[in-house]
Amino acid sequence: MPSSSGFALISVALCTHNGARYIGEQVRSICLQTLPPQEIVISDDASTDDGVAVALATLQECKQAKPQLSIDVRVIENSPALRVTKNFEQAVLACTGELIALSDQDDVWHPERLARMAAEFERRPGLLLLHTDARLVGADGRDLGESLFHALEVMPFELDWIHTRRAFDVYLRRNLATGATTVFRRSLLVHAAPFPVEWLHDEWLAIVAAAIGDVDVLEDRLIDYRQHENNQIGAQRDSYLRKVRKALASRGDRNARHAVKAELLLSRLLALDRLVARETIAKVREKLAHQRFRAALPAGRLARILPVTREALKGRYDRFGRGARGVVRDLFESA
């Protein structure tokens, strides 16, 4: 059902946890959209501050300043906390709009964010999910001089693949869809819910959407993505020293956890049956085999050289990870 502007109705899924410090600025930026949403669902995860009250008060201030503004608000309060993935699942399932915009509590949306993204969905009926770049700012809102995609070291070929309907291949390597920048069609939830807790909500939505339909990315920076000491999930470009430390660190159960995630994805896509191409299923099976291989590598570094070399020659480190980085980690990290 379209709004009076001709665009689909838009809901905002805003998840909070002790967000009083920044949430007023975020809610204000949502109200100041050139295409405002019709609904905000606030799902609060066992906060001990007055963040929800601040959000509601800010919304009322915006309505007083703009009497024509019509935004319904619903508040869900969790006790005990659901944690990030399930809190967002709860929020999006409570949304009623055809389009759902994910929102963190501490960012600031640029005024044209929803209008730009809604226009893409209007133009492309088959588009299931869309995400964007972002400007990184500090706790005080100061521009840090780099973008989210720069921090993630996004490569031109990855963007090209997403633009040319190869998003699934990108997301099998690594997730580039940051939830704070993401809008998706509510119809995706029929296939994506429930979200497995082993996955973050944004990476799960993105890869399921890419498996069954069209996903794309706008390279515009449409939000200020705030980086501060309390980020649950943030963006930080690794320095050379940090990369070296990662390569030498203990792998722990990381690869085993990645294998579990691949198993869960395979199970869900198999359940979707004809919606998913056989080629896509085959790629997930191979990803699972790669993660199981990495999880089973021997403790001794010398004993890893031959199997890692063989795996690299198969091309799996490139297809299902970041190529040479994964090879180096598997050769040098401690058991």
Q: Which CATH class is domain 10-226?
A: alpha beta
- Domain ranges (residues) in the chain: 10-226, 240-332
Distance CA 143, CA 43 (A): 28
- Percentage above 90 pLDDT, the chain: 90
pTM of the model: 0.93
When pLDDT is cut at 50, 70 and 90, the band that residue 176 belongs to is: very high
11 pairs with which residues across the strands? 39, 100
pLDDT tens column, 131-166: 999 999 999 999 999 999 999 999 999 999 999 999
Q: Write the pLDDT tens digit of every residue in 112-126.
A: 999 999 999 999 999
Residue 6: predicted pLDDT = 60
Pick from 192-196, 241-245, 271-275: least confident: 241-245
Residue 304 has pLDDT above 80, yes or no: yes
pLDDT for residue 231 is more than 60: no
Model pLDDT for residues 69-122, shown as the tens digit of each residue: 999 999 999 999 999 999 999 999 999 999 999 999 999 999 999 999 999 999
38/98 Cα distance (integer angstroms): 11
Residue 235, pLDDT score: 57
How far CA 236 is from CA of 46, 148, 226, 324, in Å, comes to 27, 8, 11, 20
The amino acid that residue 234 corresponds to is: G
Q: List the beta bridge partners of residue 184.
A: 100, 129
**pLDDT at position 297 over 90:** yes
Q: Is the pLDDT of residue 33 over 90?
A: yes
Quote the CA–CA distance of 315 and 313 in Å, as a whole number: 5
Q: How confident is the model over 226-253, as a mean pLDDT?
A: 62
Q: Do β-strands 143-147 and 127-137 pair in parallel, antiparallel, or remain unpaired?
A: antiparallel
Tokens 């890692």, residue located: 308
